[in-house]
Amino acid sequence: MAPADDRRRVARLREEIRRHNRLYYEQARPEISDAAYDALVRELRALEARHPELVTPESPTQRPGGRPARAFAPVAHRVAMLSLDDVASTAELRAFAGRVARALPGARVGWVCEPKVDGLGVALLYRRGRFARGATRGDGRVGEDVTRNLAALRAVPKRLRGRLARVGDLEVRGEAFMPRAAFETLNRALEAAGAPAFANPRNAAAGSVRQKDARVTAGRPLDVFLYEISHAPGHALASHWEALGALRRAGFRTSPLNRRCPDVDAAVRYCERLARGRARLVYDADGAVVKVDRLELQRRLGRTSHHPRWALALKFQARQATTVVEGIRVQVGRTGVLTPVATLSPVRLAGVVISSVTLHNEDEIARKDVRVGDTVLLERAGDVIPHVVGVVRARRPRGARPYRFPRRCPACGARAARGPEEAHRLCTNDACPARLKERLRHFGSRRAMGLDGLGGAAVGRLVDRGLVRDVADLYRLRAPRVARLPGFARKSAENLVGAIAASRRRGLERLLDALGVPGVGAHVARLLAARFGTLDGLARASRAELARVPGIGPVLARSVVDHLADRRNRRLLARLAAARVGAA
Ligand code: IVH
């Protein structure tokens, strides 16, 4: 009989995994990394292995993937699109090869190794060489009909060449993906248009394939690498390697990094080489796939309901470590957003010492149930900021209490409000000193007005002593008064006041970026400065005039106009203009 704790945990994990499946498959907006997702599934599998009586056919461990979304017509795959079993070490890859060899006594097993490109699985149907239908993988059994969208891609040939063109009913499979550089460019364009950016290339690929309007998909820089001929009656192929060649001759693209490896040693070397060169790949890959080459042997090995027994994914090392949460503090951003941050016992992770990590927001803490004293698993995937994968429940100290998110701003005590649609709680006090400090720090940052000497400590003193109540006050500071503040001397005060004076001539573009108008970053600031020339010119612009600036959409135009219409913001701009700030 499973203890009540395990039973509750199993229920909780299933709910979590289903939620992430929905985010991933239906909304193309996953909230967690693959490694974090895999950790949840692994924990569930381990609990189910310990308590087989808890396994139900509905458990996410019993079926690959999530449910398909409803925006597109459903397509039942004739042959299920399976997942891949995956491992994290070359030792496990060798163990897999050993099992394969034992299952095929006397056979010489050769391998094909491929990058596991991180995109969206698609199945393409051709009738007598003509593109007839394209579908997403969906939950593996039922996908979505995205024929029109895939037809809009250059990487999907509309007519095949060579022998595959003569097959009456051909189905091929592959991965649609967005190269990293193209993803960056797309995100910049989306941001400039005031549209939400994608979190990573995989989301961008999934979001682009699943557009309602195929013309949008056509404009997206998507590529497709084919990795399987799943149905080709009458076409005699002996090996996977031959299938890849046939795909290329038919006009498809396959990964140029695919290799044939005569034995498992060569496959291991391939995986190690690919992992070392991972950062140099032009697309995101999350591992290598190792496949038995001969199709006859593949057939003999068969499959489970989840994955083929003739292939294995070796996942790249997710860089992870565990450490203890020593406290949770709440930071106040310049827009008033309250962000919880865990202070950690310092830990080395992929070459850097980490002593704090963001917990994002109230819901995120509740979802992960992070408590002070908990041991957490941290991950740093690629070069990105570390994040908490989850809590190591077995190491929770007795008496650790669920974290209660403050209902008041920790800096000024004002009510911290949260709208029904919002993920964040916001300080409601426009004059909150913590928000002002953040605004000043942003204003003085190198990218903005470049005020060396206006670091966190200096800002703190200027605000706490009441010398600065907004950014315009900076231009009224006098060196002798600043010099009397603790932490300043005559020279440092003169330097700061001198730097502030010199920043008057940084130009409108830098000033607009520095002001932190919602939606206006460096790129939009450049567009606005080029079009309107002066603060005054911008302040007088109508929403329609703003929306006509190439690269500025209606949402952004509205945000800028609303900001400029606010009485306090108008007064601030007038004072900056009077202090002659923003000249070139
Ligand atoms: S083989 C039956 N090869 O990884 C064989 N899959 O977890 C199953 N993927 O949804 C797929 N690159 O979309 C295979 N070279 C590759 C792949 C690959 C990426 C994706 C695929 C699938 C997922 C499996």
CATH class of the region 319-395: mainly beta
Averaged pLDDT, 395-400? 92
Residue 295 in tokens: 């199709």
Shortest-distance Cα residue to atom 12 of ligand 1:
116
Buried b / exposed e over 402-418, threshold 16 CB at 10 Å, is ebebeebbebbebebeb
Contact in structure between 170 and 232 (CB atoms under 8 Å): yes
Does the beta carbon of 121 sit less than 6 angstroms from any atom of ligand 1?
yes
**Of 161, 162, 158, residue with least CA distance to 132:** 158
Task: Reply yes or no on whether 116 is catalytic.
Answer: yes
pLDDT in tens, 164-212: 999 999 999 999 999 989 998 998 888 777 777 786 788 899 999 988 8
Residue the block writes with tokens 């209606």 = 554
Residue 549 in tokens: 């600036």
**Best CATH choice for the domain 433-578 from the list 3.30.360.10, 1.10.150.20, 3.40.430.10, 3.30.1540.10:** 1.10.150.20
Which residue type sits at 39? A
Q: Strands, DSSP E only, in 59-110?
A: 74-76, 86-87
**What is the DSSP code (8-state) at residue 411?**
T
Residue 566 in tokens: 């606010």
Bridge partner residues of 356 (DSSP): 343
Separation of alpha carbons 353 and 343, rounded Å: 12
Q: Say if residue 381's pLDDT is above 80.
A: no
Averaged pLDDT, 424-453? 93
- In the chain, residues under CATH classification 1.10.150.20 are 433-578
Residues of the chain above pLDDT 90, percent: 65
Q: Which of 84, 209, 253, 299 to mutate to test the pocket of ligand 1 (most atoms within 8 A of CB)?
A: 84
pLDDT in tens, 32-68: 766 677 788 888 888 888 888 888 877 887 765 544 4
**What is the DSSP code (8-state) at residue 504?**
G
Shortest-distance Cα residue to atom 6 of ligand 1:
116
pTM above 0.95, yes or no: no
Distance 84 CA to ligand 1 centre (A): 6
**Of 17, 225, 197, 22, residue with least CA distance to 121:** 225
What φ, ψ does residue 57 adopt, rounded to 5°?
-60, -20
- In the chain, residues under CATH classification 3.30.470.30 are 74-315
What φ, ψ does residue 184 adopt, rounded to 5°?
-60, -45
Domain 4-54 fold is Helix Hairpins (1.10.287)
User: pLDDT at position 307, please?
Assistant: 94
Burial grade of 558 (CB within 10 A; 0-12, 13-18, 19 or more): middle
Contact in structure between 428 and 415 (CB atoms under 8 Å): yes
Q: Which of 38, 177, 227, 286 to mutate to test the pocket of ligand 1 (most atoms within 8 A of CB)?
A: 227
User: pLDDT at position 452, please?
Assistant: 86
pLDDT in tens, 59-111: 887 765 544 445 788 899 989 999 999 998 899 999 999 999 999 999 999 99
CB-CB neighbours of 256 under 10 Å:
8
Does the beta carbon of 206 sit less than 6 angstroms from any atom of ligand 1?
no
* Domain spanning 74-315: CATH superfamily: DNA ligase/mRNA capping enzyme (3.30.470.30)
Buried b / exposed e over 501-526, threshold 16 CB at 10 Å, is eebbebebbbbbbbbbbebbeeebbb
- In the chain, residues under CATH classification 2.40.50.140 are 319-395
